[in-house]
A and B are shown apart, each in its own frame.
Chain A
Amino acid sequence: MENEAIKEPGEYTVLNFGPAQPIMHGALRLKLKLDGETIIGARMEIGYLHRCFEKMSEQQTWHGVIPFTDRLNYCSSLMNNLGYCNAVEEWMGIEVPPRAQALRVFFNEMHRIMDHCVCIGPGLVDLGALTNLWYLFTAREKMYELIERVCGSRLTTSFLRIGGLTRDVAPDFVRTAREMIDYSRPFIDDVRHLIEHNRIFIDRTRNIGNVSYEDAMAWGYTGPNARASGVKYDVRKARPYHGYQNYEFDIPLGTNGDSYDRYMVRFEEVIQSYRIMSQVLDNLPGGPIAADDPRVTLPPKNQTYNNIEALMNHFKLTFDGIQVPEGEWYSFTEAANGELGFFCVSDGGGRPYRIKVRPPCFAACQSIEKICVGYMVPDLTAIVGSMNIIAGELDR
C-alpha cells in the first residue's frame, strides 16, 4: 500500500455491490467505500425479499403457517418446518411418536447436507472453482429425488404437521435411502479432497474475515459460523430434541474463525449428518407417524365418514384450527445455519397472535459490513460465501 499515491482526505471510490450481483446469494445490496481495492467502509441494505412472513402468519391458522416456513430458508425447507412444529408441540405438550421423530431427524440431517452443499458449492464458484458445484449438486439432486418420492415436492416440502408427518414413507424407504447415501457420499468426499489442501483455495480463504470467539457470541453467531470461531454450541447437544441424545455424533470446531474454517466446519458437519442418517436407518422404529391427540391430528378418514364425533373434530380442526393455550414462549432448534428460534404469543385462539422468527443468518449478516473492512474486494466474495446468507430467512 505504500506505493499508492496518497489521496486527499475524503477521497475514495464508492462501489455498489448488488442487489443483482450473483455473489450476493440473493438480493442484498452492499455499498462499499474503497481506497484502491481495499474496503474502508461498508453499508448493507437488505429487505429486497421481504414477504411479511410474520404479518401473514397472524392471518393463518397455526397449521396454515407451515407452508410459509418452507420459504424462510428455502435451501433446507424441512428444517424450518421442524423448528416451527417443535415450537407448537413443546408448548402444547404433544408427544411425537418415535417413528415420526426418527424420520424427522433423518430428513432434518438430509436437509442440513443439502444446505451445506448450497453454501459450499456456489461459494466455491464465486472463488473460481466451478467443478465442485457440479459434484455437490449431483449429490444434492439425489437427495431431492428421495424427498420427492416421499412427499411429492422438492424444494418447499411442507412435509411436517404439528404432531407428526403428513404421510408415512414407502415400504422400500430404507433401501432407497441407503442407496441415496451410498451414491451421494463419494461426491462430497471428492470435493473435500479437491479443495482441502488446494493452494489457491487456502490463499483465498485463510485469515480472511476472522471472527474471534468473543465477537462470535456478541454478534449472535450460531451454528457452523460460531463453531468455526471455536464456540462449542450446538442445540442438538445443548438441549436435545426429537431424540438427538440417542445418536452419536461430534461437533466440529474451528480455531481461527476465518472463511477457511467456516467452509471446513460445514464439510465436517456433512460427514456427521451422514453418521446420524445411517444410525436412524439402522434403528427405524415402527408405529404411527402422527400423535394420537384429537387436539391437533385429523381423525382417520374411515372415522370421519362413519362417526359424527370424528366428523365434527375434522370440521373444527380444519375451520377453527388448533386451539393453542394462551401464553408466550421461545423455542429453538438447530437449523443448517444455526439456532432457528420461534418466539410465539398465543391469545388462546386458533390463530397465532404473534410469531417472531429468529433467523440464524440475520445475526451473521449484520456483521459483514464491519468485518469486511480492511480486506480487498475479492476477499468479500470469500467472506459472504462462507457465511451462507440465505435471503429468504434474512428478509422473511
Chain B
Amino acid sequence: MTDQENITVQKLRENFPEEILDVGGRPNDVAVTVRRDRIPDICRFLRDDPDLSYKYFIDICGVDYMEMEKTPRFAVIYNLLSFEKGHRIRLKVLLEESDPAVDSVIEIWKGADWFEREAFDMFGIQFRNHPFLRRILTHHQFVGHPLRKDYEHGRRQLCTEVWDLEFD
C-alpha cells in the first residue's frame, strides 16, 4: 500500500468509522468494502476532500457471487482515480439478493450514468434516484438479467419491437 492510499483509507476510517467493513486488495489496487446506506456521502467526500480529490470517474460494475457461495449475493464495485494525487481506490458495496438496491452516484460523477444502467441491465441492481434507469446493452423486451449466474448462457429470447426512445 502506498502512502497516498494509506491516507485514503485513513481518512475514510476517520470520517466514516461505522461504514467501513473491510480493507483488502493488493498494493496499488486497494479495495475498501463499505456499507451501502451512505455511499453517496462517501463518494462526495472522496471527491471533495482536498487531500483525496477523486474527481476522475473510472468504472462501476456488478458481481454475482452465487456460485462462490458467498453472502450477500451481489456486489457493486466502484473504481475511482485521483489523477491529481496519483492514486486509486476500489469501493465495494455488498447487496442482499432480496433487496439489490443502492443509491445512484450520478450526482457526483456524471459518468456514472451508463455504467449504472449497465449494472442494472446485467444484474438487476436498482440504482435509486437514477433519472433514466433503463436497459442499455440488451433489448428493451429482454426478460431477466443475463450476467446473473442462474441465467443459462445458451438461453435465447426473441425480441422484435423497435424501442420508441423517449426524451426526458
Binding site for B on A (CB under 8 A): 29, 31, 33, 41, 43, 45-47, 50, 52, 54-56, 58-59, 214-215, 217-220, 231, 233, 238-239, 328-331, 339, 341, 343, 345, 347, 353-354, 356, 358, 362-363, 365-367, 370, 395-396
Contacts A47-B137, A356-B61 hold; do A233 and B67 have CB atoms under 8 A apart? Answer: no
Binary contact track B119-163/A, C-beta < 8 Å → 1, others 0: 000100000000000011111000000110001010000000001
Partner of A347, one of B68, B83, B109, B147: B68
A341 to B28, CA, bound (A): 14
A330 and B67 form a contact (CB under 8 A): no
Cβ of B19: which chain A residues have Cβ within 8 Å of it? Answer: none
- Determine whether the beta carbon of B77 is less than 8 Å from that of A220: no
Query: Chain B contact residues (Cβ within 8 angstroms of A): what range?
Result: 35 or more
B153 touches A58 (CB 8 A): yes
The answer to whether B147 and A54 have CB atoms under 8 Å apart is yes
- B residues bordering A, Cβ < 8 Å? 25-26, 28-29, 31, 55-59, 61, 63-64, 67-68, 77, 79, 83, 86, 90, 109-111, 113-115, 122, 135-139, 146-147, 151, 153, 163, 165-168
Give bound CA distance, A37 to B86, whole Å. 43
Q: Is the CB of B67 within 8 A of A47?
A: no
* Additional 12 contacts, C-beta under 8 A, given A59-B153, A358-B58, A363-B111: A55-B153, A58-B153, A220-B109, A239-B28, A330-B59, A341-B58, A356-B59, A356-B61, A363-B57, A363-B115, A366-B111, A396-B137
Task: List residues of chain A with CB within 8 A of the CB of B63.
Answer: 328, 345, 354, 356
- Docked-complex contact B67 and A219, CB < 8 angstroms: no
Q: A233-B83, A339-B58 are in contact. Are A43 and B165 (CB under 8 A)?
A: yes
Given A45, A55, A330, A347, which contacts B163 in the complex, CB threshold below 8 Å? A45
Closest approach, in angstroms, between the C-beta of B90 and any C-beta of chain A?
6
Q: Which chain B residues border A231 with CB–CB below 8 Å?
A: 83
